[in-house]
Amino acid sequence: MNKFPAVLLLMFFSTPLFSQTVVKNLLCENLVNPIGIDVPNPRLSWQLVGDQRNLVQAAYQIRVKNDALKQVWLSNKILSSQSVYVPYLGGSLLSGKKYYWEVKVWDNYGKESAWSEPASWDMGLLYQGDWKAKWIRAGYEEDSIMRPSPMFRKQFSTTKKIKSARAYITSHGLYEAFINGRRVGDSYFTPGWTSYNKRLQYQVYDVTPLILQGNNVVGAVLGSGWYRGNLVFVGKKNSYGRHLDLLLQLEITYTDGSSQFVVTDESWRSSTGSILYSEIYHGEINDARLEKTGWLTTPYNDTLWSTVHVHELPKRHLVATTNEPVKKHEKFLAQRIFKTPKDELVVDFGQNLVGFVQLKVSGKAGDTIKIYHAEVLDKAGNFYTENLRAARQENIYILKGDSVETFEPRFTFQGFRYARVVGFPGELKPENISAVALYSDLKQTGIFTTSNFLINRLQQNIQWSQKGNFLDIPTDCPQRDERLGWTGDAQVFARTAAFNMNVQNFFTKWLKDLAADQTSSGSIPHVIPNVLGENDAGSTGWADAGVIIPWTMYINYGDTNILRQQYSSMKSWIDYMQKNSTGQLWNKGFHFGDWLFYRPNDDLEGRAAITDKYLISQCFFAYSTQLMIKTAEVLGKTGDVRTYSELLTKIKEAFLKEYTTASGRLISGTQTAYVLALHFDMLPEGLRDQAAARLVQNIKDYNNHLTTGFLGTPYLCHVLSRFGYNEIAFNLLLQETYPSWLYPVKMGATTIWERWDGQKPDSTFQNPAMNSFNHYAYGAIGDWMYRVIGGISTYDSFPGYKKIKIMPHIGGNFTSATTTYQTNYGLISTNWSTKGGKLQFDVHIPANTTAVIYIPAPDIESVTESNKVLSDLQELKVVRKEGSYVVIETGSGKYSFSSRYPN
């Protein structure tokens, strides 16, 4: 276990008067009281909360009880500071059962906490035989063009007093389930998107409050979704199968200990209702006149409904759900309802978002309202949909003629800021229309705000592009006929994503699909889940997601499981590159390269923005191999450490020979080439400074502009900071003319654009074949803002912020920055401001961690903490003066530093 720094050991012997340490925020498998866990040893995490400085956990004890409150595990008092991912080590856990757990801790001041408030988890169905339900399919002949949503129902009765009830549900296609007219859960697009034929998730719901004593009805509606809907390009459908199927199992437990199962089988009935058509790209048609009124309640006569077909479909690939489901989030009201120059009625919601429009309307039966969706208006102010390509993004609602009707689609989502409404009966008023954002229900973990409002808007844009593209899987874009899990985009954005939200389970799930869809040769597909061809794989910087993302998650969350889970997938990818190399030079195959780099029309001066693709592939070959070595070290696989270290040396030698001159000039003189060569340590130490100088010269040649594409952009500012060019990094960040991060902000963007010039300075658009206005890749600058301006990072050797590095950088025109980040241990925050030659610097470090804090200051003597000079403070250790910083080591607590700061 982690050793306590000397300064913390000291604290064992003094016991000041502080409140008792409390244990809070209990998580199982990183979730709050999860239902449906299918690992044999779920991992438990908690946080210590206390107000004294340098608080660490000295020991812990866990107890677990079963449903009948009988103890099933009492751990020993374990002398350890581990408070995250502690595995359950009691007896075997039973399918479908609930377990309660509590934890207590002893801190380094010798105090013992009380037992925590109990938390719980429920096991999922651990064995195939636990599934009593059968796969059912609608029994009528389907309209194979429109493919209306099938509905299923089953009446049943209960006779005894109900103690609890659980529903286990999955489907081919998307499902929404109901019990006695009430929706089961509040998730959308269930069962989520996985590599369906290899891993199909089921969800588990506590439906106790929905079941009645007496007559009940359970029902479900299905949508084509990713399973069989249009995906990838026009006309392509049925990626996983042609038919929609439902698998549902209800287990009702009575107070007398007996239980009853209600499961999908031949006794169910099927029919269609108001959803005539439903496609993710194209939208939904809902004819409310066709609603089967009362079908979700009893009594209801379903004799005219069809029977169902029972199918012996596989269940061996059913898995519990690891990640947070998609839920409804922010609601946007109409900011403006107006007529465009083309005389179209358009609503502006003020934010480019992903979700759908909700309508509230009164009219006659048969009145038809069409809602179209767009991200932008064109130069003339007209509704612009060309960049959606073949995606229609069109919802149609046909009224049934009730007094007030409400509509929202069920199995589709749109990417939009503007809605065009056609056929609304009467005047469309703000109270008739709103927009709801839908995205994976991830905990928001990061806040970054500064004195510069353009940068604050940039940060919001990054967060909105993350929200819009974290809809169960990480997608490239959410609006055109694509919306796929492009590996390269996810790879470049993962670290930023992990600052903004807790993406651990989100990526843990997606990486399982990545491994599942990896080709037999070890190559990694361009998109995950892979709905392209088997050969659409192996592009550098894209396929490397299979190594870079597991490592990024490990660094952020300190979870070695993710490395174990992905290890053989990671190895296969490295081995693939090696096999496809000649003399360790990986210069074969198709690569996207530095996708969407800046392509100037006037590049006549010998400047360069185009990077040789094989130079890039050699850099990523090295980087992934480097991360493989680190992974093997963490997992104690010494043989692999040796093998991959030898490989790495050869990769770098091959790079030098093929792509550099003797003096260290690269054959592509671009920003991306120098950024990758420097960030991945491709050059020997002696050649690095000159390379950094060439990078800076290139930036100057472009008049202080970046020219990088997807692969160079994430590391550009990091490299500049590392080699002492912080001011250049700040200049790039603050550059307002194209290409830059702030150019779209100045053009009114509310999300990150796919291209640096999605909309040109004259307000015309880039090529509509590739022009998304919601593409997070360039938002990868967020990582630099959090880590460098905010100064919050962790150490590879103490990942997951067990040991924290705080090192803010003051620069550009910023006079203040506030950065907060929720880690597994609790909140880290930094807040700096400069005024009148003085720096105020407040820091919060959570309990059970240690920190090295770099305080910007000219000398040690000028620094105070809460008005005391540093030498008067026992609880922190002044380590050294380093450059423009005073470095201290300490532990948890709130610190308020002041220092002289020339400005």
For the annotated catalytic residues, the residue numbers are 482, 754
By CB under 6 A, name the one of 84, 244, 398, 477 that touches ligand BGC: 477
The stretch near ligand BGC (CB under 6 A) out of 394-402, 466-474, 483-491, 696-704 is: 483-491
Coil/strand/helix, residue 430: helix
Q: Which is nearer to ligand BGC, 29 or 482 (CB)?
A: 482
* Side-chain half-sphere exposure of 82, counting CA atoms within 13 A: 15
Q: CB count, 10 Å around CB of 261?
A: 12
In 720-760, the DSSP E strands lie at: none
Cβ-proximal residue to ligand BGC, closest one = 476
Q: How far is the CB of 442 from ligand BGC (least distance, A)?
A: 21
Closest approach of Cβ 527 to ligand BGC, in Å?
8
Amino acid 690 reads: Q
Site for ligand BGC in 330-359 (CB under 6 A): none
d(CA 78, CA 569): 34
Among candidate residues 463, 862, 495, 504, the one with its CA nearest the CA of residue 714: 495
Query: Which residues make Cβ contacts (< 8 Å) with residue 639, sequence separation at least 6?
Result: none
User: x/- contact string, 577-616, with ligand BGC (CB under 6 A)?
Assistant: ---------------x--x---------------------
Distance CA 549, CA 563 (A): 10
Burial code (b: 16+ CB inside 10 Å, e: under 16) for 45-70 equals bbbbbbebbbbbbbbbbbbbbbbeee
Task: Check residue 481 for interaction with ligand BGC (CB under 6 A).
Answer: no
- Nearest approach, Cβ of 356 to ligand BGC (angstroms)? 22
Greatest C-alpha distance within the chain = 87
Contact between 375 and ligand BGC (CB under 6 A)?
no
- Tell me whether residue 243 or residue 613 sits nearer to ligand BGC (CB atom): 613
Q: Judged by CB under 6 A, does residue 284 bind ligand BGC?
A: no
Given the complex with ligand BGC, which of 753 and 841 has the nearer CB atom?
753
- Minimum separation from the CB atom of position 710 to ligand BGC (A): 7
Taking the C-alpha atoms of residue 529 and residue 513, their distance in angstroms, rounded to an integer, is 6
Instruction: Rule CB under 6 A: choose which of 372, 486, 573, 680 binds ligand BGC.
Output: 486
3-state secondary structure of 854: strand
According to CB under 6 A, which residues from 752 to 791 bind ligand BGC? 775
Q: Which residues, including other chains, have CB under 8 Å from residue 259's CB and lie 6 or more apart? A: 251, 252, 253
Residue 381's Cβ-count burial label (10 Å; 0-12, 13-18, 19+) is middle
Segment lying near ligand BGC (by CB under 6 A), choices 232-240, 486-494, 612-620, 848-856: 486-494
Helix (H) or strand (E) holding 618: helix 613-634
What's the min distance (Å) between Cβ of 592 and ligand BGC? 4
Cβ proximity to ligand BGC, 269 vs 483, nearer residue: 483
Strand partners, 446: 821
Q: Which of 264/540 has CB closer to ligand BGC?
A: 540
| CA–CA gap between residue 710 and residue 492 (Å, rounded) | 7
Distance CA 888, CA 886 (A): 7
Instruction: Choose between 469 and 504: whose C-beta lies nearer to ligand BGC.
Output: 469
Q: Which stretch binds ligand BGC (CB under 6 A): 187-195, 250-258, 273-281, 480-488?
A: 480-488
Interface with ligand BGC (CB under 6 A), residue total 9
Looking at residues 417 to 476 of the shown chain, list those that interact with ligand BGC (rule: CB under 6 A).
476
Smallest distance, ligand BGC to C-beta of residue 475, A: 9
The interface region with ligand BGC, picked from 359-367, 481-489, 503-511, 624-632 by CB under 6 A, is: 481-489
Gap between the terminal Cα atoms of the chain: 44
Residue 873 φ then ψ, to 5°: -105, 110
Supply the minimum distance, in Å, between the C-beta of residue 508 and ligand BGC.
Answer: 22
Provide the b/e sequence for 402-412 (b: ≥16 CB within 10 Å).
eeebebbbbbb
Q: Which residue in 36, 148, 273, 488 binds ligand BGC (CB under 6 A)? A: 488
Q: Hey, is 570 helix, strand or coil?
A: helix
Contact 708, 672 (CB under 8 A): yes
Stretch that binds ligand BGC, among 22-30, 482-490, 802-810, 830-838 (CB under 6 A): 482-490
Work out whether 324 is an interface residue with ligand BGC (CB under 6 A). no
Kindly state the smallest distance separating residue 581's Cβ from ligand BGC, in Å.
Answer: 22
Phi, psi of 563 (to 5 degrees): -70, -40
**Cβ nearer to ligand BGC, comparing 599 with 838:** 599
Cα 58 to Cα 148, 629, 794: the distances in Å are 60, 32, 22
Q: Closer to ligand BGC by CB, 535 or 874: give it.
A: 535
For residues 416 and 778, which CB has a smaller minimum distance to ligand BGC in the complex?
Answer: 778
| Residue 489 in the binding site for ligand BGC (CB under 6 A) | yes
Residue numbers at the binding site for ligand BGC (CB under 6 A): 476-477, 482, 486, 488-489, 592, 595, 775
